[in-house]
């Protein structure tokens, strides 16, 4: 079952091929926040980014709503640090 889900993700999300994927410090349903730098960690590539919505749209061609569906992020969890 897990293998099928990962296969679905590969077709659903554009992953950068020129950079290695980084370890993601949180599990599905959570967002890892670096408050000191004002960044969030992306579940797709593992990068910490300041403008998270711009990152997932431009780098992975995914909407915030779809990202929430895939990674089980509740609506009450903000994609903006400090909110």
Read off the tokens for 21.
């994927």
pLDDT tens for each residue of the chain, 83 residues long: 444 444 444 445 555 444 445 666 667 888 989 989 999 999 988 899 999 999 999 999 999 999 999 899 999 999 998 76
Q: 0.75 exceeded by the pTM?
A: no
Nearest Cα residue to 82 out of 42, 52, 44, 46: 52
């Amino acid at each position: 079952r897990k293998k099928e889900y990962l296969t679905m993700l590969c077709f659903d999300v554009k992953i950068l091929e020129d950079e290695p994927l980084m370890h993601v410090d949180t599990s599905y349903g959570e967002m890892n926040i670096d408050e000191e730098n004002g960044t969030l960690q992306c579940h797709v590539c593992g990068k910490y980014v300041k403008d998270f919505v711009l990152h997932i749209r431009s780098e992975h061609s995914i909407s915030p709503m779809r990202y929430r569906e895939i990674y089980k992020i509740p609506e009450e969890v903000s994609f903006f640090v400090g909110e």
